[in-house]
Amino acid sequence: GATIVDLSVNITPAEDYKLPPEIIAKL
């Protein structure tokens, strides 16, 4: 799971911080 989160953060860090945990989990 950490890998997927890291990839999403690298792609759009600002958006990930603004999005709620539920949306991040779906990614």
Q: Supply the pLDDT for residue 16.
A: 57
Spatial separation of the C-alpha atoms in residues 8 and 23, rounded to whole Å: 11
Predicted TM-score (pTM) of the model is: 0.23
16, 9 in Cβ contact below 8 A?
yes
Q: Supply the pLDDT for residue 6.
A: 65
- Compute the CA torsion angle 10, 12, 17, 22 (nearest 10 deg): -100
Token pair of 7, please? 């990839």
Extended strands (E) in the chain: none
Mind listing the pLDDT tens digit for each residue in 1-27?
A: 556 666 666 666 556 566 677 766 776
What are the domain boundaries of the chain? Answer: 1-27
